[in-house]
Structure 1
Amino acid sequence: MSPSPQHPARDAIPLGDVELHDNYLPALPAGDYRVEADHALRTGPNEGAPVVGDVFRAVQRFTVRAPQVAIDTNAVVARQPPDASSGRFAEVLPHVVLGDPMLPWERPMSGPGTSRETPWLALLVLTDDQLVGGTAAPTRTISATVQDFLADDADVLKPELTVESDIGPGDPCAYIQVAAAAFPAVAPRLDELRFLAHCRGANTGDRPILGIQEDGLFSVVVAGRFPAAPPRGSDADSGIRNVVHLVSLEGHEKVLVADPDLRGRTSVALLSLCSWSFLAHPDRQADFTGLADGLTRTPDGSRAGREEMWLRLPSPYEDTDAVPAPRRHVARRLNDGYVPLPYRIRSGETTYGWYRGPFTPVVPPRTDRAAQATTADALLAYDPARGSFDASLATAFETGRAIALADAAFAQHLLAFRHAVRQVVDTLHHQATSTHLSPGGDGRQRPGTAPAAFGTLLDGHLLTALGAPPGRPRDPWTPPAPAAPPADPAGELDTFLRSEATRAALTAALAGDDGLREHFGRVADWLGQLLLLEPVPFSHLVPDQRMLPQESLRFFHTDPNWLAALVSGALAIGTQSSRDTLQDRTVTAAIRTAAADAAAGHREARRGGAAADAAPGLGPGSGLLLRSALVSGWPNLAVRAYDPAGELLPVLRMDHLSPTVLLCLFNGLPAAVEISEPQEGFRFGVEDHGLIPLRNVLRPPRSPRGLPLGEQIAPGLDFPVLDHLRRTPDPNVRTLDIGSLIPALAAALNAAHGTAVGPIGPADLAMQLVRVPEAIRFNGPEGDRG
């Protein structure tokens, strides 16, 4: 494969697909540069003509900056295997995904066989006995300044590094010391480096927004060594700790050979830019498959039924006719997602109340009371037969009110919007009741305004009348009698606000280009985020932790009544009179519609897309809560929801609420939900017997039987990767011999394709070594869990 061109529109990559590229080369590698320009004035047109005076010369020095001794903490998108994990990783090649697609190629390497395609980064997999010093750090790193790191040491081989001008001798860095005896076995060779890094393109629309480059390219650095693990048949609890370091090889080119001259040093120092560790066990303990399978099981280990995966408390009683009525009532409440909580009434007595948050296991019937409420008490339900309260909607109202009061900027915009609406209402009311202006207009101005009345005069015979000689009035003139004041001003204004004409005029004013529109937009955007429950405390979403135990996945519907009450509470602040209440009720439909549109486009706007392209409005809402080590181990876990036609449902929100809790909200009701490893972070390695299935590397029509790129050529057509390892006395040091692997793989691919496939590049090797991303799929009521 050739070097990557400038990447096209990345949104065109379908969700779930991935593009592989050999590299992503910068236009100019990092370093210090000098530009010189000479200008000579000659006496004739020929080059040999004498120069007049001196040659003018201009010199401009500049530096192309790139990381050299450290990288940003947010540069690392994913690590595989995950940090602090344990599992069956002996057949997995660790790798790191970087958010900057150019990072591995931004610094030049020198030496025989190097080129611009040679990365300066490598991933080393080490065990504790292969590291020297650094015992105070979990990954054995040593903290120092750049000056101390580069200082000569008779026992430590340091890199021949030329530090760039923007790095000072006192700048901090971290490094490791690899034992000299282990370095030749674990370090990649200079001519192998380009095969251990590549570039990927992936659409991240099904991932949480983590501040990474959305819908873009990622660079990947792969280790050339398999992790050390106990032999097969060992105790399931045994494991070997592996430490992974992303290191800089700049300045170490001379020792990246088969038999390096370490000049008698006992260790080799390398800059460590990122590090983590994991335990490799002989069995599956914390890999994706084991964790995903655990989500579908009950605490006793049995397979969970569909009803057990809703977000609700387990009921101790059954909802059957044989159960006494009080217990049956409790069972119904718990099955509907309610939680009994202590409740103190205003008289001071303590009782209990039922509470259900916005996430429910059932679809509640819609009620208009939530959208029309002006106080929380109006939404407090009481069951006189059982003496219990339902505080769900009242809590939603007070939550919205408290969040709005805590946000001074929103409160100011809401009050300014309310004041602007009052001015518009006063103007419209004055126009409707004025006796001085004609209520009609010319169609170009609003009726009943001074511009409209003046326009009527201009459309008549005003100019003709001005040109005629003045005439003497025949009839005496008397001023018009003022209109009688209304008998009930408040009632008249109330009737005016309730009229359809006023509602239509206000709706038109909200879309107009004036101060009212500015405040209206800000209020709607803020309420859109409120509808996505971003500022709502987690305890209001999941009132009892038993509803979401550890290593669990729970599905839910979103309650539109709870959301309506939440917005009602936010809009209730600053209301001072019945006029404000009625005025708000007149425009509330437009506000809620605009807020729903803002909520529907909020995620796309955060990802850098055009919010206007999102589907307007909110449909029936649903979602899931995942509490598992999958969230921390795979931070950019992919979640996709499909409608009955197999189309992707829009994702309204996908956020980490904690390191182990993931919340997903969907705009619609899914027929299936799939949770999978991210495409840009899938695993590399071999199957259990050291084999990999050969995949097609040719595009149709050259591909065998018209197979798409990356498809397995044929069942059973495998390649033995573990036959191409470096020879070492330690069986736990299994490092790929790239010089042997690439020619053998090329020959196997040529035979499998029936034609020469051309040179094998880093992207081709990555496609062959990739292990298909694992996934778990949950189908709707008409299907089974997959």
Structure 2
Amino acid sequence: MSEITKIVQCFLPPMVAGSYQVTVDQDILRNKKSVQKIKKAFSFGVDAARFTLNAADIYSVYPPANRSGNYSGQLPHVIFSRRTLPWERTIDGKPPVFQREETPQQKQTPQVSPPVPWMALLLFDEDEMQALKINLGSLQDILPPSVPDTVIRPAISKESAFAKAELTLMEWENETDGCFTVDITKEQFDAYVPSMESLSFLAHAKEVSITHKDQEGILDTDADKSTGMFSVLVGNRVLTSGKSHTAIVVSLEGYAAYLKGATPKKEIPKGNSVRLVVLAHWNFDNSGEANFLQLVNGIHTRPMKIEKATEVAHLKSYFESGHVPLGHLTRAGATTISWYQGPFVPRLSPATSKKISFTASDGALRYDRTTGFFDVSFAAAWQLGRVLGLQNQEYARAMGAWRLSQIQEKAKNTQRDTINSLMNNQEAITVKSKLIQFLGVTTSTPEKIEVATTASIPEEARSFLTELYQLKGVPFSYLVPHEFYLEKEHADSGIMTVFYLDPNWMEALLDGALSIGRLDDTDHILDRVLSEGLIDGYIDQKSNESKTDPDLRVLNVTGFLLRSDVVSGWRGLEILAYDSDGELLPALRFERIDDDIFLGIFNGNIASITIKQPFEGLHFGIKMDSNRESNRYQKNLKEDDGSPLEASREAINVNNELNNGLIENDIIDVAGLASLMKQKLNPVAIAQNKEVHFTSAEFAYQMVDSPVKREITITLNVS
């Protein structure tokens, strides 16, 4: 599909969940004759998700939960954070068909006898949900009742004895354990629940590069942590009506006999309802025009400053530099206003050529006589660094021990140098006099102890300072002090504010952290931390353009804050930043820091940003013709590279069949559509000498929409 995405039919666990028994036979021989035969059986169970899912099991859903948008023609789907989840159980409690002893040898592969997931994704509109209710109950509600009623329940017994290929509660499962259920009608079960064959096409897995993703919530990765493994469950109902909908992930364990394609098939009596275990559910509205393409195209860029116009000329420079006036309560209890600017600034801000350390936050205050206000930016950064340093006990202890070791090393060197000087003194004085002179030197208090800073900074300190440089742990209000910085033009739009990282603010933050147990030469330590690259990823470049001071340092670190519904609705966005030469910039920090806010900080100057739809969450569906009198549904098949598949210069499609029986009441006959696709693709595959297999991976590839991306040109202010 692409160089960073691979669709896989399935990832099967070594053993599916259930009850197993191991029998051990031992024959003890003496002189080649059996004297004792021992036979023992051991029973054990394999557990997996069953009646509930952990919140971490679900990576994302589509359509986005609690959102409105244009999702017509698409199929709902849910992405699991574990590659094996849809196949960790089977709906009948037996091993997958291709692993069973009675399966013919020619069918003992997943491609020939595909595994069937134990769950399905059902979709109901707002009218149907008026008669349905998702109830919180216990396992007792799904077990066979003592008195027969009109509710069909899964074929799961409450007996706890181990029995191979039999669905029972396991020893660790109790009837009082909670679970959600929903009762649907016989007609809804027959119409909406996919057939056994269709189910095998509605679950697949994906291997996706996660290098340029926020990796929070990605739990299943390869050995080098560069590829994420996901499993995907797709629904079979096309979204058409502009209504509210509820998507429900249900367990089909214990319902194998009721599914279409079962042999023999059990019929649900008329008037009966079917109780299904609800594993997850979410709501959304298929209304409005918002979709991924519209949202990503609606992102506007601007510098990191408040765009509010002001008529006061002497205040304009403050707003242009990214400052904002905030309420300030002084130590004396007076209420005033002070200027504040966070670490994100709208223009390149060179640092001073000499690093300055402060003994207290008040030393970093700046007073503007023009406005009569204090600028508390660096003072706030210094105090915050100190508080965070004290809060991190490992860092505080490591810095204290490191400083003490340096003082001891300096004292030892001073003592050695003094002894050597006295012993090498050739003056005619007695040993007693030399001893008195030595004691007088060592007990005197020097005016200043210069601590040697040649030893390596402790790893705990390096780690903490690196995270602090990446602004991890810094409250969001320090980064973005006012909502106007990220104010969107309208609800469906997005805003991307771009910024430079202010080296002066960062140095004040680091200096505050280094002030713990301060000595007179802390500024030398700060100089090492910054100039000698002791913080991973710190860029300290000499400015060749400065004629007045060629040693003036420039911190070429830039970034963006993206606020948009595309962040909250599409988890796992791929965002890449490039410089003016088209080189990919390495990220110092790259993560979603709020529901709809994404932060990226990069080494170098950003010239362009590319936002890509997450590959693990590409949409599945068909095109809907706006002309109701012509074919309503359209689906063209495609080549391996995504281009339309052509035979005799006529695009191969399944449009006629889609509109003549393969879709009824918006429900797709998935097995029939997959079979048709295979027939259409067969001649091409044979001509190319390819082995013909059409599994859920091939079906997903044909059903998936092309990925959407947008390239944004960034203009940074360097004046």
TM-score with structure 2 setting the length: 0.81
Which of 84, 89, 92 aligns to 1:107? It is 89
CA contact (8 A) 2:27 2:34 kept: yes
**1:131–1:350 CA distance, 2 compared to 1 (3 A):** closer
The CA deviation at 1:105 is 1.0
- Which residue matches 1:224? 236
- Which residue matches 1:557? 500
Residue identity opposite 1:105 in structure 2: W
The correspondence of residues 325-344 of structure 1 with structure 2, limited to 5 A, is 327-343=312-328
Deviates more, 1:683-692 or 1:105-114: 105-114
**1:349–1:244 CA distance, 2 compared to 1 (3 A):** closer
CA contact (8 A) 1:750 1:756 kept: no
- Which residue matches 1:745? 677
SS at match of 1:652: strand
Which of 141, 149, 157 aligns to 1:148? It is 141
The CA deviation at 1:113 is 10
- Which residue matches 1:96? 78
- Which residue matches 1:82? 64
CA distance, structure 1, for counterparts of residue 131 and residue 613 of structure 2: 36
Confirm whether residue 157 of structure 1 aligns to residue 95 of structure 2: no
The correspondence of residues 313-328 of structure 1 with structure 2, limited to 5 A, is 313-317=306-310, 327-328=312-313
- Which residue matches 1:456? none
CA distance, structure 2, for counterparts of residue 131 and residue 42 of structure 1: 70
Residue identity opposite 2:303 in structure 1: W
- Which residue matches 2:701? 767
CA distance, structure 2, for counterparts of residue 76 and residue 438 of structure 1: 76
**1:572–1:132 CA distance, 2 compared to 1 (3 A):** same
CA contact (8 A) 2:17 2:48 kept: yes
Which of 282, 288, 292 aligns to 1:288? It is 292
Q: Could you report, residue by residue, the CA deviation over 1:275-294 in whole angstroms, capped at 9, with x for unpaired residues?
A: 1121112x513x21222233
CA distance, structure 1, for counterparts of residue 348 and residue 688 of structure 2: 59
Which of 337, 352, 360 aligns to 2:345? It is 360
CA contact (8 A) 2:567 2:597 kept: yes
Which of 239, 251, 254 aligns to 2:254? It is 251
CA distance, structure 1, for counterparts of residue 555 and residue 680 of structure 2: 52
Residue identity opposite 2:372 in structure 1: G
**1:210–1:344 CA distance, 2 compared to 1 (3 A):** closer
Residue identity opposite 1:221 in structure 2: L
The correspondence of residues 602-751 of structure 1 with structure 2, limited to 5 A, is 620-689=556-625, 690-697=633-640, 709-713=641-645, 717=651, 719-720=653-654, 723-724=657-658, 733-751=665-683
The CA deviation at 1:380 is 2.1
Residue identity opposite 1:40 in structure 2: D
**1:183–1:721 CA distance, 2 compared to 1 (3 A):** farther
- Which residue matches 1:6? none
The CA deviation at 1:547 is 1.2
SS at match of 1:573: coil
The CA deviation at 1:548 is 0.9
CA contact (8 A) 2:537 2:603 kept: no
**1:39–1:112 CA distance, 2 compared to 1 (3 A):** closer
CA contact (8 A) 1:726 1:735 kept: no
CA distance, structure 1, for counterparts of residue 43 and residue 282 of structure 2: 39
The CA deviation at 1:362 is 0.5
Structure richer in strand, relative to its length? 2
**1:375–1:279 CA distance, 2 compared to 1 (3 A):** same
Confirm whether residue 266 of structure 1 aligns to residue 204 of structure 2: no
Confirm whether residue 192 of structure 1 aligns to residue 198 of structure 2: yes
Confirm whether residue 585 of structure 1 aligns to residue 523 of structure 2: yes
The CA deviation at 1:38 is 0.9
Q: Could you report, residue by residue, the CA deviation over 1:663-688 in whole angstroms, capped at 9, with x for unpaired residues?
A: 22222222211222211111111234
CA distance, structure 2, for counterparts of residue 621 and residue 493 of structure 1: 37
The CA deviation at 1:657 is 2.8
The CA deviation at 1:109 is 3.7
- Which residue matches 1:455? none
**1:114–1:691 CA distance, 2 compared to 1 (3 A):** farther
The CA deviation at 1:75 is 0.2
The CA deviation at 1:201 is 0.4
**1:114–1:156 CA distance, 2 compared to 1 (3 A):** farther
TM-score with structure 1 setting the length: 0.75
Residue identity opposite 2:710 in structure 1: I
Confirm whether residue 124 of structure 1 aligns to residue 109 of structure 2: no
CA distance, structure 1, for counterparts of residue 696 and residue 127 of structure 2: 31
The CA deviation at 1:526 is 1.4
The CA deviation at 1:112 is 13
Which of 707, 712, 718 aligns to 1:778? It is 712
Which of 366, 370, 379 aligns to 1:381? It is 366
**1:63–1:350 CA distance, 2 compared to 1 (3 A):** closer
- Which residue matches 1:60? 42
**1:632–1:622 CA distance, 2 compared to 1 (3 A):** same
CA distance, structure 1, for counterparts of residue 343 and residue 330 of structure 2: 23
**1:128–1:756 CA distance, 2 compared to 1 (3 A):** farther
Residue identity opposite 2:140 in structure 1: Q
The CA deviation at 1:352 is 3.8
Residue identity opposite 1:657 in structure 2: I
The CA deviation at 1:409 is 4.2
SS at match of 2:710: strand
- Which residue matches 1:459? none
SS at match of 2:473: coil
SS at match of 1:394: helix
For structure 1, list consecutive stretches of 5 or more residues without a partner in the other structure: 2-12, 135-139, 230-238, 297-305, 319-326, 440-475, 511-516, 602-617, 698-708
- Which residue matches 2:19? 32
CA distance, structure 2, for counterparts of residue 341 and residue 115 of structure 1: 68
Structure richer in helix, relative to its length? 1
**1:427–1:129 CA distance, 2 compared to 1 (3 A):** same
Residue identity opposite 1:257 in structure 2: K
CA contact (8 A) 1:245 1:276 kept: yes
Confirm whether residue 522 of structure 1 aligns to residue 454 of structure 2: no
CA contact (8 A) 2:355 2:526 kept: no
The CA deviation at 1:565 is 0.3
CA distance, structure 1, for counterparts of residue 637 and residue 666 of structure 2: 22
**1:30–1:349 CA distance, 2 compared to 1 (3 A):** closer
Q: Percent identity?
A: 28
SS at match of 2:201: helix
**1:371–1:64 CA distance, 2 compared to 1 (3 A):** farther
Which of 464, 481, 485 aligns to 2:434? It is 481
The CA deviation at 1:94 is 0.8
**1:386–1:261 CA distance, 2 compared to 1 (3 A):** closer
Q: Could you report, residue by residue, the CA deviation over 1:343-401 in whole angstroms, capped at 9, with x for unpaired residues?
A: 56677776543221001111112125664333323322233344343222122112212
CA distance, structure 2, for counterparts of residue 746 and residue 437 of structure 1: 96
CA distance, structure 2, for counterparts of residue 530 and residue 197 of structure 1: 42
Residue identity opposite 2:389 in structure 1: A
Confirm whether residue 51 of structure 1 aligns to residue 34 of structure 2: yes
Residue identity opposite 2:608 in structure 1: A
CA distance, structure 1, for counterparts of residue 78 and residue 532 of structure 2: 42
CA contact (8 A) 2:67 2:284 kept: yes
CA distance, structure 1, for counterparts of residue 331 and residue 180 of structure 2: 61
CA distance, structure 2, for counterparts of residue 696 and residue 56 of structure 1: 60
CA distance, structure 2, for counterparts of residue 557 and residue 176 of structure 1: 53
SS at match of 2:520: helix
CA distance, structure 2, for counterparts of residue 669 and residue 208 of structure 1: 21
Residue identity opposite 2:56 in structure 1: N
